[in-house]
């Protein structure tokens, strides 16, 4: 049995709906489908979720909502017309307006894109409709309640052989709608796949899988045929955005493989993601390269810090007190580096530095901004001699200075920090060294 999730670009208009229907009908094992809200139809088009957020802001400002609502209504009615559906969403639009006047939340408004698209897709496929608010459960803090969600999903799915479950949102027990972060329909799909004990979770989007590097930087980047969930987690965390980084957990725990596929090229096998995979048949030493800009390094120096019990804990306490997450902790005998996101550090920079001084009395503290982190990931790296040397040689040959190095305990990734101005050049250098040569 297969659970299929379709992204916003796959459901942007009537012609895309038709592609989705052909895919679903091509395999009767596809029992459950999770849709996103309609995405962009062309480069300067609006995503429906963005239109809904604009609608909420308009209502919150006390301005007339009808002009903003008209654009949303037009998108859905055009899909209805193109598919010749005997469906009307007018009552749903009325409920939306009434609830906005009652002060319903921003999350509620944002969730209506998936909700309305789910109604249309269910009608078009002839599937049952299950409102995600009834089966995806959040607590009062907005945290997913996985055990309760799994219980509710199992009960609901057992009563429906074929069904549409909208992505991105759920609700608290009292009915208050909550949403995942943007792209969270991937998480819904994974939760449905886990609850259904699916054989496969298909994630359909506008590209046929993961590229080995960002195609905006490496236009000829190859597609990854197979990847493990551990590798995917490393790449997603560092900026690869084909799949939401938190979507891997439900299916990985359940041992369900995920197949990234293209709605526009359904014959392409895409990228298969599994819990484990050997290195046999792996064409390249590395699986992929991903990175992000916008980091700062806080350097702390103190003689004999390695013999000072609790030194690291106290340093991290300073960041915790200001709700700043640390990303990496490269350390030496008398030095400790804390890598954080620059935008999180900036509002509290002075306070954090002074707090570190008070807690550990360092000899020196230095902060360097405008750092980019780049992860080179691959399950084959650990068994290939000279991988690190090859990586560092490729970077140094281009005259790029490495600011920090971090190899995780998993030994499937090496992360380097470089100046943001060297970001694209570094990714090109690594790709050249491991893929083009």
- pLDDT tens profile 203-213: 999 988 889 99
| pLDDT category of residue 236 using cuts at 50, 70 and 90 | confident
Average pLDDT of the segment spanning 274-290: 76
Question: Is residue 379 situated within a structural domain?
Answer: yes
Is residue 154 within 8 Å of 193, Cβ to Cβ? no
Question: Is residue 136 situated within a structural domain?
Answer: yes
Q: Are residues 259 and 309 in the same domain?
A: no
Q: Are residues 28 and 118 in the same domain?
A: yes
Q: Are residues 36 and 183 in the same domain?
A: yes
Average pLDDT of the segment spanning 312-321: 96
Average pLDDT of the segment spanning 94-100: 95
Q: Are residues 201 and 329 in the same domain?
A: no
| pLDDT category of residue 306 using cuts at 50, 70 and 90 | confident
Summary mean pLDDT of the chain? 93
Average pLDDT of the segment spanning 299-320: 94
Q: Are residues 256 and 340 in the same domain?
A: no
Question: Is residue 371 situated within a structural domain?
Answer: yes
| pLDDT category of residue 285 using cuts at 50, 70 and 90 | confident
| Residue 376: CATH number of its domain | 3.30.2130.10
Q: Are residues 270 and 405 in the same domain?
A: no
- pLDDT tens profile 374-386: 999 998 787 788 8
The domain in which residue 191 lies consists of 2-274
pLDDT of residue 243: 78
| pLDDT category of residue 184 using cuts at 50, 70 and 90 | confident
Record the pTM.
0.87
pLDDT of residue 290: 95
Q: Are residues 250 and 376 in the same domain?
A: no
- pLDDT tens profile 105-116: 999 999 999 999
Q: What percent of the chain has a predicted confidence (pLDDT) above 90? A: 82
Q: What percent of the chain has a predicted confidence (pLDDT) above 70? A: 98
Whether 254 shows a pLDDT value over 80: the answer reads yes
| Total structural domains within the chain | 2
Question: Is residue 170 situated within a structural domain?
Answer: yes
pLDDT of residue 278: 58
Q: Are residues 331 and 376 in the same domain?
A: yes
Q: Give the end of a domain, one of 227, 244, 274.
A: 274
Whether 245 shows a pLDDT value over 80: the answer reads no
- pLDDT tens profile 402-428: 998 887 666 789 999 999 999 999 999
pLDDT of residue 409: 63
pLDDT of residue 151: 98
pLDDT of residue 276: 76
pLDDT of residue 277: 65
Whether 302 shows a pLDDT value over 90: the answer reads yes
Q: Give the end of a domain, one of 220, 251, 274.
A: 274
Q: Give the end of a domain, one of 274, 304, 334.
A: 274
Q: Are residues 148 and 196 in the same domain?
A: yes
Tell me the sheet residues that pair with 340: 296, 326
| pLDDT category of residue 241 using cuts at 50, 70 and 90 | confident
| pLDDT category of residue 437 using cuts at 50, 70 and 90 | confident
Q: Are residues 354 and 251 in the same domain?
A: no
Whether 280 shows a pLDDT value over 60: the answer reads no
């Amino acid at each position: 049995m297969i659970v299929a999730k379709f992204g916003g670009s796959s459901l942007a208009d009537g012609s895309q709906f038709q592609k989705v229907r052909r895919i679903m009908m091509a395999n009767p094992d596809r029992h459950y489908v999770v849709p996103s809200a309609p995405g962009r139809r062309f480069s300067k088009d609006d995503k429906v979720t963005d239109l809904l957020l604009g609608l909420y802001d308009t209502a919150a400002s006390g301005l007339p909502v009808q002009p903003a609502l008209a654009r949303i209504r037009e998108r859905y009615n055009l899909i209805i017309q193109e598919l010749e559906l005997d469906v009307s969403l007018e009552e749903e639009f009325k409920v939306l307006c009434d609830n906005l006047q009652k002060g319903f939340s921003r999350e509620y408004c944002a969730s209506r894109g998936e909700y309305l698209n789910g109604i249309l897709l269910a009608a078009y496929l002839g599937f049952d409709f299950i409102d995600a608010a009834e089966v995806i459960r959040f607590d009062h803090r907005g945290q997913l309640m996985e055990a309760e969600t799994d219980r509710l999903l199992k009960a609901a799915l057992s009563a429906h052989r074929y069904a549409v479950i909208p992505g991105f949102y759920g609700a608290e027990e009292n009915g208050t709608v909550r949403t995942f972060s943007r792209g969270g329909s991937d998480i819904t799909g994974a939760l449905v796949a886990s609850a259904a004990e699916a054989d496969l979770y298909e994630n359909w989007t506008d590209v046929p899988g993961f590229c080995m590097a960002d195609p905006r930087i490496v236009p000829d980047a190859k597609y990854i045929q197979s990847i493990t969930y551990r590798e995917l987690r490393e790449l997603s965390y560092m900026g690869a955005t084909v799949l939401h980084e938190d979507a891997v957990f439900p299916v990985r725990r359940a041992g369900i493989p995920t197949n990234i596929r293209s709605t526009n090229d359904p014959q392409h096998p895409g990228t298969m993601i599994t819990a484990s995979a050997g290195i046999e048949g792996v064409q390249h030493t590395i699986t992929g390269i991903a990175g992000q800009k916008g980091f700062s390094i806080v350097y702390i120096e103190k003689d004999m810090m390695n013999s000072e019990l609790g030194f690291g804990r106290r340093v991290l306490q300073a960041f915790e007190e200001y709700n700043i997450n640390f990303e990496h902790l490269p350390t030496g005998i008398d030095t400790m580096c804390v890598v954080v996101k620059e935008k999180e550090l900036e509002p509290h920079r002075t306070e954090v530095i002074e707090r570190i001084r008070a807690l550990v009395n360092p000899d020196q503290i230095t902060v360097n901004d405008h750092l980019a982190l780049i992860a080179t990931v691959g399950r084959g790296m650990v068994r290939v001699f000279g991988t690190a040397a090859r990586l560092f040689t490729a970077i140094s040959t281009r005259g790029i200075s490495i600011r920090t190095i971090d190899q995780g305990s998993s030994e499937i990734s090496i992360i380097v920090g470089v100046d943001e101005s060297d970001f694209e050049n570094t990714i090109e250098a690594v790709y050249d060294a491991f893929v083009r040569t």
